[in-house]
Structure formats: C-alpha cells, structure tokens
C-alpha cells in the first residue's frame, strides 16, 4: 500500500489513470473496491477525510425498504432486504439486526389513504393505524421469508408494551415490532471498503484531502488541501461520487447539472440513561406530529435521535440548528412524556 506522498508524487511522473473517482463516501468507496477487485487501476480522491460527508451523518440504519411498500414497489423492497441481509452477513462486526418498535395510537387510521397511495392516485400519508401496520408488516414478512435473516414481526398489547417500555406514552393502544438493521459505525464500513481495495495492489490508489478543482480537455486538476500544490491527472473515465457536492464537482469539471435538490437532515446523541434503559436494544420508530417518520434508538450506551429534513443549499454549511434541537426535544417528550430530558444531555450532534 503506497503512502499519500508516494501516490501524489507518482502523479507527477505519470498522470494517466483508467478511472478517477471523486468522493470517498460510501458510493465512491464501493465503486472503488468493485473496480479494483476487477483489476482496474483507479485513483480515489476526497477533499476531506474519507467518509466524512453524508456517509458519516446517517441514522445508522441498514433499511430493509419497508417504506417502499406503500408505493407498491415490491421489487425495491426485495432489493433493500437483499442488500440489508448482505450487510448483516458481510459486516457482522458493524451491522446487526435491530428490533424496531412502532408505538401505535389508532386502530383504523390510514386504510383508505394507503389504498389510494398504493394505486398511485395520491401521494400524501395520514397517521397509520394498527390494522394498516399489521397488513404492511405481514406483506413485509412474506417478502423477507425467502431469506429469514431477521425474525418476523409481532404485536404487543398496551399493557405488555408498557411493561416492556415503561416510559412510553401511555396513550398508545399497542406496539408492533419488526426487524431492520443498525450500522454501528457507517463511516468504518466505508473505510474498510477502501482499505480492502488498497490491499489488492498498486493499481488501487486512494488519497484524502485532495480535491478535484477543475478540468480542461481530458485533464482533471487536483489540489492537495494540505499543501495547496496542484496536480493533473488524465483519466479515461471520471466517476463523480461527490454526493451532495455532485453538482459543484460537475461545475468544476465544466459540466452543468442540477441533480441534488439541497436538503439536510440532523441528529443528536443524548446521554440519558432513563431513556436508554427504557428503549433497551429497540429502535422506537414513529410518526411525529408533523407526519414525519422519526426515530429514537440505542447507539452504544447513549441514545440517537433523528431526523429532520430541511432545505440547505450548501453541503459545506450543514449543521444542527437550535430549532432542530427544539424539534428533537419535543418529539422525545411526545413519545416519553415522563422522562427528564434536557438540552444539556446532548453530547453530540451531526448533519448531512
Ligand atoms: C439525514 C440523513 C440520514 C440518512 N440515514 C441513512 C440511513 O440510516 N441508512 C442509509 O442507508 N442511508 C441513509 N442516508 C443516505 C446516505 O447517507 C447517503 O445515501 C450516502 O451516505 C451517500 O453517500 P455518497 O458517497 O454518495 O456521498 P457522501 O458520503 O456525501 O460522499 C461524498 C464525498 O465527496 C467528497 N467531495 C465533495 N467534493 C469533492 C471534490 N471537489 N473533490 C474530492 N472530493 C469531494 C466529500 O468530501 C464526501 O466525502 C441518510 C442521509 C441523510 C441526509
């Protein structure tokens, strides 16, 4: 495995490379590893730390695609289940089955709406009641059944739910639990993909703190963010895997696009043992008052709370604002009204 300096110096003597990948998040890292395994010589660059962008700001979930059921997109659900199961199998040190519990507040709500949405006639959602959730999770189990990596769903009565989750909002009528998967450290999964590829030989080169800053003819200009030095590479193909920066990178490569709409989501991590003990190893997944699906889940011995979805045009400026913190505190209080939650319990926040 070559050092950063060696890789950069090698570009001075020979700037040709088969494929240049711009962006070392999960997509760039995955493409990098795939190509390297096929023997292609690839240069991966990231303007910052690898996996420091959106890939480090996730809800730490490997979703099995439950949400796509409402649109009747069964093939997408199957694909999501397949990919989630592959992650559980291939990265068992980071990805674990996650019991996901939905507190339910109504019995019949959402049935007609879900039918119309399934038929593609409307695109709004209303609060999902117990019957609808039962139907959804039963179909989901059927789709999972060909590969039972995780257990089937189950329902718990109100009294059993309160015994299991004592602080839960007592106005719920029952809970449903199905299984998804959690990724303890998504950024580590990304780093491992890159390290795995680098072990394949010198045709795999990866350097961080190197930005793609311009292009002319078939040459791409790179800048070492640590020294300011610039380098040129002559790739046969460029993969723009810059996530939310994709349009900025295209612009610097003289290709004008508007693929990314400009939104952000934030999370907070709170040190609240009362809630941590109350949820145990379960993610609590629910519809907030504004209709958004939000989560409160364990992360090591702390609690991860997310997420918002707000307009943000510049991915370099994303941060968790005081208003988002207020939103999170209110949603925790909705689900755990008797818990003592305060802003000084927030030990970390992140956005992407
Ligand atoms: C709030 C939120 C929660 C999410 N939760 C989940 C979840 O629980 N599970 C899930 O599977 N998905 C989740 N996602 C989606 C997931 O995070 C993204 O699909 C994924 O991380 C995108 O990865 P990426 O590699 O495309 O982009 P990124 O991870 O953003 O990587 C892009 C990289 O490009 C680099 N870059 C930018 N410009 C340049 C340049 N000029 N030169 C060199 N490098 C450059 C950046 O530094 C960055 O590292 C979530 C997304 C958000 C916003």
Of 35, 73, 58, 310, the C-alpha closest to 193 is 35
Instruction: Report the CATH fold assignment for 4-56+187-252.
Output: FAD/NAD(P)-binding domain (3.50.50)
How many C-beta atoms lie closer than 10 Å to residue 39's C-beta?
11
Q: Is the pLDDT of residue 335 over 90?
A: yes
Confirm or reject: Cβ of 351 under 6 Å from ligand 1.
Answer: no
Instruction: From residue 87, give the alpha-carbon distance in Å to each of 52, 182, 241.
Output: 20, 10, 21
pLDDT by residue (tens digit) across 253-295? 999 999 988 899 999 999 999 999 999 999 999 999 898 999 9
pLDDT at 233: 98
pLDDT band at 118 (very low <50, low <70, confident <90, very high): confident
11 CA → ligand 1 middle, Å: 27
Q: 15-19, 146-150, 232-236, 307-311: lowest mean pLDDT where?
A: 146-150
pLDDT by residue (tens digit) across 40-96? 999 999 999 999 999 999 999 999 988 888 888 889 999 999 999 999 999 999 999
Kindly list the domain boundaries of the chain, sorted by start residue: 4-56+187-252, 61-182, 262-352
Of the spans 34-48, 71-85, 128-142, 306-320, which averages the highest pLDDT? Answer: 34-48
- Residue-wise DSSP of 10-68: HHHH--EEEEEEE--SHHHHHHHHHHHHTT--EEEEESSSTT-SGGGSS-SEE---GGG
Shortest-distance atom of ligand 1 to CA 29: 25
Q: Which CATH class is domain 262-352?
A: alpha beta
Confirm or reject: Cβ of 244 under 6 Å from ligand 1.
Answer: yes
Shortest-distance atom of ligand 1 to CA 267: 1
pLDDT mean across residues, the chain: 94
pLDDT band at 111 (very low <50, low <70, confident <90, very high): confident
25 CA → ligand 1 middle, Å: 6
pLDDT by residue (tens digit) across 291-301? 899 999 999 99
Shortest-distance atom of ligand 1 to CA 61: 8
Confirm or reject: Cβ of 243 under 6 Å from ligand 1.
Answer: yes
**82 touches 147 (CB < 8 A):** yes
pLDDT by residue (tens digit) across 158-188? 999 999 998 999 999 999 999 999 999 999 9
Q: Do domains 4-56+187-252 and 262-352 have the same CATH topology?
A: no
Confirm or reject: Cβ of 242 under 6 Å from ligand 1.
Answer: yes
Confirm or reject: Cβ of 58 under 6 Å from ligand 1.
Answer: yes
**50 touches 191 (CB < 8 A):** yes
């Amino acid at each position: 495995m070559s050092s950063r300096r060696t890789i950069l110096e090698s570009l001075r003597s020979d700037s040709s490379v088969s494929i240049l990948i711009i962006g070392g998040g999960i997509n760039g890292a995955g493409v990098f590893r795939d190509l390297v395994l096929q023997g292609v010589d690839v240069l991966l660059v990231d303007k910052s730390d690898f996996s420091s962008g959106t890939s480090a700001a996730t809800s730490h979930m490997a979703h099995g695609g439950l949400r796509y059921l409402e649109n009747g997109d069964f093939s997408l659900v199957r694909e999501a289940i397949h990919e989630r199961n592959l992650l559980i199998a291939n990265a068992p040190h980071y990805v674990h089955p996650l019991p996901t519990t939905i507190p339910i507040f109504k019995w019949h709500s959402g049935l007609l709406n879900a039918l119309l949405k399934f038929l593609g006639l409307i695109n709004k959602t209303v609060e999902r009641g117990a019957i609808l959730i039962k139907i959804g999770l039963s179909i989901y189990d059927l789709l999972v059944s060909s590969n039972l990596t995780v257990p089937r769903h189950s329902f718990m009565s109100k009294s059993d739910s309160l015994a299991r989750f004592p602080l839960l909002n007592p106005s719920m009528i029952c809970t449903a639990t199905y299984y998804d998967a959690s990724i303890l450290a998504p950024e580590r999964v990304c780093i491992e993909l890159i390290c795995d590829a680098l072990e394949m030989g010198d045709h795999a080169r990866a350097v961080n703190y190197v930005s793609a800053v311009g292009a002319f003819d078939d040459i791409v200009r790179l800048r070492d963010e640590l020294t300011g030095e610039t380098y040129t590479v002559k790739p046969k193909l460029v993969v723009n895997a810059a996530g939310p920066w994709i349009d900025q990178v295209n612009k610097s490569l003289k290709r004008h696009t508007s693929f990314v709409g400009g939104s952000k989501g934030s999370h907070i991590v709170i040190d609240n043992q009362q809630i941590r003990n109350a949820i145990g190893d379960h993610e609590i997944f629910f519809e907030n008052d504004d209709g958004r699906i939000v989560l409160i889940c364990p992360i090591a011995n702390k609690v991860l709370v997310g997420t918002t979805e707000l307009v943000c045009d510049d991915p370099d400026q994303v941060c968790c604002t005081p208003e988002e913190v207020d939103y999170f505190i209110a949603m925790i209080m909705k689900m755990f009204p008797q818990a003592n939650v305060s802003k000084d319990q927030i030990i970390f926040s992140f956005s992407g």
